[in-house]
Amino acid sequence: MKYSYYPGCTLKTKAKELDVYARKCAEKLGVELTEVDDWQCCGGVYTTSRDEIVTKLSSVRALNNAKERGQSLVTVCSACHNVIKRVNYDMANDAFVNAGANNYLQLATPYNGETKVIHFLELLRDEIGFENVKKAVVNPVKRRISAYYGCLLLRPGNVMAMDDPENPRIMEDFISAIGGTPVVSPYRNECCGAYLAVTDPAVPARHCGYITDSFKAKGAETVITACPLCMYNLKRNSGDLPVVYFSEILAEALGVK
Amino acid sequence: MDLSEQAENIKRISGVDTKKCLRCGKCTASCPNYEDMEYHPHQFVYFIENGYLDRLLKSDAAFRCMTCFACVERCPRDVKPAKLIEAVRLTLVRQKDSNRLKPYDIIENLNADLPQQAIVSAMRKYTK
Ligand code: SF4
Ligand code: SF4
């Protein structure tokens, strides 16, 4: 199985574990990930306004590169995934955005949203299959684990189309596949406070307080996330509750850590 | 642009049809940052629809929104208040000398763990 892969800036720096362990696990599971050529930062957040064209171009370039290779595009960071998937949706469904981006890029063939964008969790569920992930586990992670989805993997539900945005299960099924016990909290898809970490850290501190208190009250021993910013905000406010990337805990289970 | 033209532009670039709102308040009830915002998602919709955009432009409410899209997901009429809020924010930061975050401001909350993602996201939300 061969895929194009978009790691993203933060995964090359502050969130190396998210990238390195995703690659190791992919290899172990027989998946070949090839980085997009000359990829650029996705910008961290999708710009919702229709007249924001320039801020969507880096995603279009990555999507078009995968299209030229005839591959689906795999992401692992929640934020990159949200931005790229939403831009892809616009390229397929918003004639104004499509015209602006194609007019600027002047590609050999216009890009119209052809590439399939898959988050690593979807790769595990839909392409490899959780039952095959389970078979590859050598060190079952026998812990009570809470999945923290945050906003970016799930919303907007009609575009992200990963799971039920209000009652998701993909991460819980992932936890079960690697031998853990999923611990569900209603705060798992509430926002961590996001980029207000830069302007007013009291905001993420408050939100992450609610979130991690809820995980603790439910008896979680570990929290998993796919987002470096959720990781940062949660970690600073979770006390002694460990927060790890889902790819790192998968690597532990697959014996490649 | 006068205020009504600005309101029209906000509707145009956000793609939001404010008339679809049935004023149920579910967006605001869903907003995790409710207590932190002077005006709430349903008020963005109502104010823009009814000629009170000036209140939104004078407030920092748009800059307190986390773009978590809870209000969008839970709106029974698919109004997408967060897109309207982002268009208000853009209306402000697209004006000359109106960046809400200067590179030097970041230093105050900078530390060894702060991910690049946080900085680029904040720059995108608060500057042009
Ligand atoms: S997107 Fe903004 S306004 Fe809407 S629920 Fe989230 S924080 Fe509140
Ligand atoms: S949830 Fe939708 S319909 Fe209800 S008040 Fe908010 S914008 Fe209007």
Look up the CATH number of the domain holding residue A61. Answer: 1.20.1050.140
Give the A-side interface with B, CB within 8 Å: 8-10, 13-15, 41, 43-45, 47-52, 55, 77, 79, 151, 154-157, 165-166, 190-191, 193-199, 201, 203, 207, 228-229, 231-232, 235-236
Residues of chain B contacting A10 with CB distance shorter than 8 Å: 115-117
Residues of chain A contacting B116 with CB distance shorter than 8 Å: 9-10, 13-14, 41
By Cβ distance, the residue of B73, B87, B121 closest to A44 is B121
Cα B11 from Cα A2, distance rounded (Å): 42
Domain ranges of chain B: 3-126
Characterize the bridge pairing of strands A144-147 and A222-225: parallel
Q: Are residues A99 and A59 in the same domain?
A: yes
Q: Are A232 and B33 a contacting pair at CB < 8 A?
A: no
Q: Are residues A106 and A149 in the same domain?
A: no
| Min distance B117 CA to chain A CA atoms (Å) | 5
Per the rule left: phi > 0, alpha: psi between -120 and 50, beta: everything else, A134 is alpha
Q: Are residues A50 and A78 in the same domain?
A: yes
By Cβ distance, the residue of B66, B114, B120 closest to A232 is B114
Both structure tokens of B105: 């401001």
B68 lines ligand 1 (CB under 6 A): yes
Q: Are residues A148 and A224 in the same domain?
A: yes
Cα A64 from Cα A79, distance rounded (Å): 19
CATH class of the structural domain B3-126: mainly alpha
* pLDDT value at residue A237: 95
Mean pLDDT by 10 residues, chain A (257 residues): 97 97 98 98 97 98 98 98 98 98 98 98 98 98 98 98 98 98 97 96 97 98 98 96 98 97
- Ligand closest to A207 (CA) is 1
Q: Are residues A242 and A157 in the same domain?
A: yes
B83 lines ligand 2 (CB under 6 A): no
pLDDT in 10s for each residue of chain B, 128 residues = 899 999 999 999 999 999 999 999 999 999 999 999 999 999 999 999 999 999 999 999 999 999 999 999 999 999 999 999 999 999 999 999 999 999 888 998 899 999 999 999 999 999 99
B31 lines ligand 1 (CB under 6 A): yes
User: Domain boundary at A70, A85, A120, which?
Assistant: A120
Q: Are A10 and B15 a contacting pair at CB < 8 A?
A: no
* pLDDT value at residue A44: 97
Residue A133 domain-assigned (yes or no): no
A49 in Cβ contact with B14 (< 8 Å):
yes
Please, where are the H alpha helices in chain B? 3-14, 26-30, 41-49, 53-58, 61-64, 70-74, 81-93, 103-108, 116-126
* pLDDT value at residue B108: 86
Q: In Å, how far are A56, A212, B17, B58 from B79, measured between CA atoms?
A: 23, 31, 7, 23
Q: Are residues A146 and A244 in the same domain?
A: yes
Does the beta carbon of B82 lie under 8 angstroms from any beta carbon of chain A? yes
By Cβ distance, the residue of A43, A198, A231 closest to B106 is A198
Q: Locate the chain B residue with the closest alpha carbon to A158.
A: B73
For residue A74, list its beta bridge partners.
Answer: A5, A118
Q: Are residues A116 and A142 in the same domain?
A: no
B53 lines ligand 2 (CB under 6 A): no
Q: A235 lies in which domain range?
A: 138-254
Cα A28 from Cα A256, distance rounded (Å): 8
Residues of chain B contacting A234 with CB distance shorter than 8 Å: none
Question: How many domains in chain A?
Answer: 2
Residue A80 domain-assigned (yes or no): yes
**Would you call A16 exposed, middle or buried from its count of C-beta atoms within 10 A (0-12, 13-18, 19+)?**
middle
Cα A2 from Cα A161, distance rounded (Å): 22
Q: Are residues A177 and A72 in the same domain?
A: no
Residue A25 has φ and ψ, to the nearest 5°, of: -70, -40
| Min distance B32 CA to chain A CA atoms (Å) | 7
- Ligand closest to B74 (CA) is 2
* pLDDT value at residue A90: 98
Residue A160 domain-assigned (yes or no): yes
Q: Are residues A92 and A202 in the same domain?
A: no
- Answer yes or no: is the ipTM higher than 0.90: yes
Q: Are residues A152 and A190 in the same domain?
A: yes
B24 in Cβ contact with B56 (< 8 Å):
no
What angle (nearest 5°) sits at the alpha carbon of residue A112, between those of residues A106 and A115?
A: 110
By Cβ distance, the residue of A45, A157, A229 closest to B125 is A45
Residue A129 domain-assigned (yes or no): no
B81 lines ligand 2 (CB under 6 A): yes
Residue A130 domain-assigned (yes or no): no
B66, B117, B120, B127, best to mutate vs chain A, most A CBs in 10 Å? B117
The CATH number for A145's domain is 3.40.50.1860
Residue A128 domain-assigned (yes or no): no
Residue of A99, A93, A4, A12 lying closest to A51 (CA atoms): A99
Cα A68 from Cα A114, distance rounded (Å): 10
Q: Are residues A191 and A243 in the same domain?
A: yes
Q: Give distance in angstroms: CA of B51 to centre of ligand 2.
A: 18
